[in-house]
Amino acid sequence: MRVCPTEALRVRGGKALLQSNRCIDCGECYRVCPTGAIIVEQDDFNSIFNYKYRVALVPSVLLAQYPEDVSVDMAIHALLRIGFTKVVIVEDSVDYLITRINAYIINNPSRKPIISSFCPAIVRLVQVRFPWLVGNIMLVKPPIDLTSSFIRRKLTEEGIPEQEVGIFYITPCAAKIAAVKSPEGEDVSEINGVINMDLIYNRTLRDIRSGGTKRTVEDGAVNISPKSITWALTGGEALSIEAKGLAIDGISNVIEFLEKMETSEVHGVDFLELRACDESCAGGILTVGNSFLSAERLRKQARYIPESKIGFHTQIKISEYSSVLNGKVGLNRLEPRSIVKLDDSMVKAMNKMERVNRYLCYLPGIDCGVCGTPSCQALAEDIVQGEGSLSQCVFLQKIMEQNKLDPKHSFRIMKKIWGENRFIKDCDKPKHKK
């Protein structure tokens, strides 16, 4: 409850209740949930077989998850064996995207520093918590969208009927799922389904370990540039563009920087690569391997690509992509969805703020969370919005019990928040993960 950067969680009836308008899908709650009660919804793996052509859209970080003895080539052939007919690396469009980002920065000097649209959790964070920085978000589609559009058009050009093509994204995090299912700044996504990385990891690794070696006709070679391989890592974007970029990972670091950006001007920075997870996508909540080791592995891979191959290959990629996608890379204008405001009307908001401040005089200010709310401030705001009451506070209950509050009633209140079972002896309580 308390790790949530947008205070979207409440405890009611012993369970975590999520306020979906506040949630940015960052997955911080998933990391710490002691019971594993939070699941990341995904599409049924077997739904890939509804399509004749089944494309696995794979982020480069997947390839760094496997044990050392499993090569990229082995992993890709395993993906083909478990049911896909084609494997495409998400970051395939990155060389082209870099040209678009460079152009965008030059064409939008008044929007600096420009915030990357890469991490969907960050885009939503800005919309709900930093509504007036929404104009700084770069209105250029992220690699996942560019690559999926490109592949779909390519296959259609080859004469494959559109409805026979199923593109499935293998996701390292929850935010990307939400971005596919309800995209911001786009009408529909070209992706047909999303499957969690941990599931794919298990299936492919089991296949490899049980002796799967059959190679299909499909060429499994990954032909992407060093910049593409490391794009999803921290610094991947910021170090690849021409303008002056800054890379920040970890949601609390990002929030600290955005707060600063709101109050005082940030000078001398053109572009901000902001990522919700520590170590960016290598630290995604659905990844399997250690984030530092995965990142190192990808960086090493990028270094081993021979110089001679890079320049020529990159030029081909850029011209291929630009012939298909030019004019189709923009995002629609993003709307702020402030959760910070107390009311739309300023007069009403002032009235509510005065009440919040009055309640705060009584609340203990230790943010214990026993009331089922992440902080005293959040409880005071809930009360003002009609979603809570002062008697939820265990401190105020003690005071009220001196007067007229029936201890039995205050016990009932606590049970309502934490559930009946919390008050029964239990030696096997789930332990907190951290």
Partner 1 sequence: MKFEYKVQGGDFVRAGHASSEVKKILKQLNVEPSLVKRVVVALYEAEVNIVAHAYNGMAYVDIDASRVLVRLDDNGPGISDIELAMQPGFSTASSTVREMGFGAGMGLPNIKSNSDEFSISSEVGKGTHLEFVVYLNSK
Site string for partner 1, 336-365 (x = CB under 8 A): --x-xxxxxxxx-xx--xx-----------
Which CB sits closer to partner 1, 113 or 172?
A: 113
Tell the smallest beta-carbon distance from residue 256 to partner 1 (Å).
11
Please tell me whether residue 421 adopts helix, strand or coil conformation.
Answer: helix
- CB half-sphere exposure, 190, CA atoms < 13 A: 19
Tell the smallest beta-carbon distance from residue 301 to partner 1 (Å).
41
Site string for partner 1, 207-226 (x = CB under 8 A): --------------------
Which CB sits closer to partner 1, 342 or 390?
A: 342
Q: Does 188 bind partner 1 (CB under 8 A)?
A: no
Under a CB-based contact definition with an 8 Å cutoff, are residues 193 and 166 in contact? yes
Which CB sits closer to partner 1, 221 or 347?
A: 347
Tell the smallest beta-carbon distance from residue 353 to partner 1 (Å).
6
What are the φ and ψ backbone dihedral angles of 402, each rounded to 5 degrees? -65, -30
Classify the C-alpha dihedral 372-376-380-382 as positive or negative: negative
Tell the smallest beta-carbon distance from residue 290 to partner 1 (Å).
36
Token pair for residue 45?
A: 């793996």
Q: Give CB contacts under 8 A, 24+ apart, made by 177-183.
A: 177/25, 177/40, 177/41, 177/42, 178/25, 178/120, 178/124, 179/120, 179/123, 179/142, 179/144, 180/144, 183/145
Of 359, 400, 361, 394, the residue nearest 379 (C-alpha) = 359
Which CB sits closer to partner 1, 349 or 370?
A: 349
Site string for partner 1, 228-267 (x = CB under 8 A): -------------------------------x--xxxx--
Under a CB-based contact definition with an 8 Å cutoff, are residues 382 and 388 in contact? yes
Classify the C-alpha dihedral 260-117-289-20 as positive or negative: positive
Which CB sits closer to partner 1, 136 or 314?
A: 136
Tell the smallest beta-carbon distance from residue 113 to partner 1 (Å).
15
Please tell me whether residue 365 adopts helix, strand or coil conformation.
Answer: coil
- As a whole number of angstroms, the distance between CA 119 and CA 116 comes to 7
Which CB sits closer to partner 1, 262 or 387?
A: 262
Number of residues written out for the chain? 434
Of 167, 218, 188, the residue nearest 55 (C-alpha) = 167
Tell the smallest beta-carbon distance from residue 354 to partner 1 (Å).
6
Residues in 261-300 at the binding interface with partner 1, rule: CB under 8 A: 262-265
Residues in 111-150 at the binding interface with partner 1, rule: CB under 8 A: 131-132
Please tell me whether residue 339 adopts helix, strand or coil conformation.
Answer: coil
Which CB sits closer to partner 1, 111 or 416?
A: 111
Tell the smallest beta-carbon distance from residue 178 to partner 1 (Å).
24
The residue count for binding partner 1 (CB under 8 A) is 20
Tell the smallest beta-carbon distance from residue 381 to partner 1 (Å).
9
Binding site for partner 1 (CB under 8 A): 131-132, 259, 262-265, 338, 340-347, 349-350, 353-354
